[in-house]
Structures are given as structure tokens and as C-alpha cells.
């Protein structure tokens, strides 16, 4: 998935915008990402992708902290 790929089709939110919500604003739940970007606040079909992205980012952070 590229950075500019739309992750949330209902609200036209890109993967990059969701990643910024996680990385810059420390969003750690789908609800927080939704408040910051509106992603996942429509049909909710994309919430699993948002949750997976949050988990992926948290795992990357954990690896960096232990390195
Ligand atoms: S695709 Fe994200 S809320 Fe519908």
C-alpha cells in the first residue's frame, strides 16, 4: 500500500494521514485516529486496516526502543 493510497474511502483519508495521526499525534486507537482524521467514522469498513496500522506502528516503536 502506497502512502497516498486512500485508506478510508468514505472520508477520503490516505494512509499517510492516518500514519501522521499515529506518529505525530500519538493516536493509539481507531477512535483517536477518527477524531484526528475522520477515518473510520463512516461505514467503519476501514477500521480493521486502521487497527492493523496502529499495531504495526506500535511494534516498530517497540523494536526501535529495544535496539
Ligand atoms: S471506508 Fe472508512 S469509514 Fe467507510
- Which residue(s) pair with 6 in the sheet? 14
Can you give the pLDDT at residue 61?
86
Identify whether 39 is part of a domain: yes
* 6-65 pLDDT per residue, tens: 999 999 999 999 999 999 999 999 999 999 999 999 999 999 999 999 999 999 988 888
Can you give the pLDDT at residue 1?
65
Can you give the pLDDT at residue 65?
86
Identify whether 1 is part of a domain: no
* CATH code for the domain of 45: 1.10.10.1100
pTM of the complete model: 0.90
Residues with CB under 6 A from ligand 1: 8-11, 39-46
Cβ-based neighbours of 13, under 8 Å, separated by 6 or more: 6, 7, 37, 38, 39
User: What are the phi and psi torsion angles at 14 (to 5°)?
Assistant: -85, 165
CA of 12 to the centre of ligand 1 (A): 8
**φ/ψ bin of 2: left (φ > 0), alpha (ψ from -120 to 50), beta (otherwise):** beta
How many distinct structural domains can be found in the chain? 1
Alpha carbon dihedral 30, 4, 26, 31, in 10-degree steps, equals: -20
Can you give the pLDDT at residue 64?
87
Domain, as residue range, for 48: 6-66
Amino acid at each position: 500500500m502506497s502512502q497516498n493510497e486512500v485508506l478510508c474511502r468514505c472520508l477520503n483519508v490516505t494512509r499517510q494521514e492516518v500514519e501522521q495521526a499515529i506518529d505525530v499525534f500519538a493516536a493509539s486507537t481507531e477512535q483517536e485516529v477518527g477524531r484526528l482524521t475522520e477515518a473510520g467514522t463512516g461505514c467503519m469498513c476501514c477500521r480493521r486496516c486502521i487497527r492493523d496500522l496502529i499495531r504495526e506502528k506500535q511494534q516498530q516503536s517497540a523494536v526501535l526502543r529495544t535496539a
